[in-house]
């Protein structure tokens, strides 16, 4: 593998790594709520909020350089599939 630090995606040393929670803004939450239909279940709302949080976490990880190259990902998948 390359020089990328993979400890944050389930590789060794994950126990010592603390995950930073992405912060949502009221504006983004309100926008999500406004995009829901007039009637929705609490489960639908929670699913949308969790989805939003995951997107924010991914963007934060990308900004911090916590990414995996396509080449490294192919190597990882090959190891998992054996």
Task: Answer yes or no: is pLDDT of 9 > 70.
Answer: no
Residues 8, 17 contacting (CB under 8 angstroms): yes
| Alpha helices in the chain, H assignment, sequence order | 26-34, 42-63, 70-80
Among left, alpha and beta (phi > 0; psi -120 to 50; other), residue 10 is left
Mean pLDDT of 16-21: 56
**47-68: per-residue pLDDT in tens?**
999 999 999 999 999 999 999 9
Length of the chain equals: 82
Which of the four pLDDT bands, split at 50, 70 and 90, describes residue 20? low
Residue ranges of the domains in the chain? 23-80
Task: Answer yes or no: is pLDDT of 12 > 60.
Answer: no
**21-42: per-residue pLDDT in tens?**
778 899 999 999 999 999 999 9
């Amino acid at each position: 593998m390359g020089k990328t630090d993979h400890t944050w995606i389930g590789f060794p040393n994950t126990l010592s790594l603390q995950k930073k929670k992405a912060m949502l803004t009221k504006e983004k939450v309100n926008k999500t709520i406004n995009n829901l239909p007039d009637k929705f279940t609490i489960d639908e709302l929670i699913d949308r909020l969790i989805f939003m949080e995951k997107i924010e976490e991914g963007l934060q990880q990308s900004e911090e350089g916590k990414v995996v190259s396509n080449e490294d990902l192919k190597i990882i998948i090959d190891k998992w599939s054996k």
